[in-house]
């Protein structure tokens, strides 16, 4: 199977599962009557529409996959995860950045906005191909100072404070 129908099938399956869960959860709310429709009516209609659209898409993708199988037989087997990331370093960077951001949000509560932001900017700059440490550190200090002056002093926005600052 080629990559395109496979992706389409994967997305359709995820959407079908999501719409089924959403429909099931929507039944917890009252439906009431047509004269006075309850809070479950609109979500149920939407869930059903999503289910229909996703199923339609899945059927189309399965047909396309069948056609593609007839045309070009599969040549290479599935790659290992490590092999995939070696070939797609940029994609791996996105995953690292996601993990960094998750850590950043968690750290913001514990050590405060400024310390965690200082670290995030340095690490993110390094990840996006900064070769030295000097410039990312300078940038990070500048960003933190700018945020402090603009958001805390001028706009009086209360950014998260932790054990450090």
Partner 1 sequence: MADQSILSYLLIALKPANFLSCFAGAVIGTLIGVLPGLGPAAAMALVIPLTLKLGPTAGLIMLAGIYYGSMYGGSTTSILINVPGEPASVVTTLDGYAMARKGRAGAALAIAAIGSFAAGTFSVIALQFFAPLLARAALAFGPAEYFALTMLGVILLSNLAGTSRSRSLIMMISGLILSTVGMDPIGGLERFSFGIPTAQGGISFIAITTGFFGIAEVFAVLSAREKPQEILPVRLRELYPDRDEIKRSLKPIARGSVLGFLIGLLPGPAATMAAFSSYGLERWLSRNPETFGKGAIEGVAGPEAANNAACGGAMIPLLSLGLPFTPATAVLLGGMLLHSVTPGPFLLRDRPDVFWGVIGSFYLGNAMLLILNLPLVGIFARLVRVPARYLMPVILVLCTIGTYGDNGAFFDVWVMLGAGIIGFVMRKYGYSPAPLVVGLVLGPVMERSFRQTLIISVGNLASLWESAICKAVWAVALIAIILPLLIRLFRKKTDVSSTD
The C-alpha angle 111, 113, 117, rounded to 5 degrees, equals: 100
User: What b/e readout covers 20-46, taking b as 16+ CB neighbours within 10 angstroms?
Assistant: eebbeebeeeeeeeeeeeeebbeebee
Binding flag, residue 94, partner 1 (CB under 8 A): yes
- Total residues at the site for partner 1 (CB under 8 A)? 61
Binding flag, residue 125, partner 1 (CB under 8 A): yes
Binding flag, residue 91, partner 1 (CB under 8 A): yes
Binding flag, residue 15, partner 1 (CB under 8 A): yes
**Separation between Cα atoms, residue 16 and residue 47, nearest integer Å:** 9
**Separation between Cα atoms, residue 75 and residue 96, nearest integer Å:** 31
Would you say 55 and 15 are in contact if contact means Cβ atoms under 8 Å apart? no
Binding flag, residue 139, partner 1 (CB under 8 A): yes
List residues binding partner 1 (CB under 8 A): 7-8, 11, 15, 22, 25, 29-30, 33-39, 41-43, 46-47, 49-50, 53-54, 56-57, 60, 90-91, 93-94, 97-98, 101-102, 104-105, 108-109, 117, 120-121, 124-125, 127-130, 135-136, 139-140, 143, 147, 151, 155-160
């Amino acid at each position: 199977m080629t990559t395109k129908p496979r992706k389409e099938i994967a997305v359709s399956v995820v959407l079908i599962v999501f719409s089924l869960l959403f429909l099931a959860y929507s039944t917890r709310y009252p439906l009431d009557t047509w004269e006075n429709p309850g809070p479950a009516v609109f979500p149920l209609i939407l869930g059903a529409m999503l289910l229909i659209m996703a199923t339609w898409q899945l059927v189309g993708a399965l047909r396309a996959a069948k056609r593609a199988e007839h045309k070009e037989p599969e040549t290479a087997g599935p790659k290992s995860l490590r092999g995939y990331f070696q070939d797609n370093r940029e994609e791996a960077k996105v995953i690292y950045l996601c993990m960094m951001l998750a850590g950043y949000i968690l750290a913001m509560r514990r050590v405060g906005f400024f310390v965690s932001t200082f670290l995030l900017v340095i690490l993110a700059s390094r990840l996006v191909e900064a070769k030295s440490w000097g410039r990312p550190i300078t940038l990070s200090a500048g960003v933190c100072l700018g945020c402090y002056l603009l958001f805390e002093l001028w706009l009086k926005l209360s950014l998260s404070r932790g054990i450090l600052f």
